[in-house]
Amino acid sequence: MAVIGASPVTFISEDMATGNHGKQCQVPLSLLSFDNTGTTIDPKTFTNLAESDQTLLKNLLKSLVSQGLLTKP
């Protein structure tokens, strides 16, 4: 299910292992979707992110959904 929001999801990388630490990352809303339950956005499609950034993005998405900043159409 598609995701509606005001802007791309942006975060600062915490990945110390690859030298990406401190770099700004943006995830376009068009690349995000809600899971089958319609309550969670899973960033598993972003396999190029380090594990630390996967965790960061997952927690950020959860927070944005709970605040109503990312919604279903």
Q: Can you tell me the mean pLDDT for 18-46?
A: 81
Beta strands in 1-73 (DSSP E): 9-12, 24-27
Structural domain boundaries of the chain? 9-66
Q: Tokens 């005001």 appear where?
A: 6
Q: What predicted TM-score, i.e. pTM, was given to this entire model?
A: 0.82
Q: Taking phi first (over 0 means left), then psi (-120 to 50 degrees means alpha), and beta for anything else, what does residue 42 get?
A: beta
Q: What is the mean pLDDT of the chain?
A: 84
Q: Can you tell me the mean pLDDT for 15-30?
A: 79
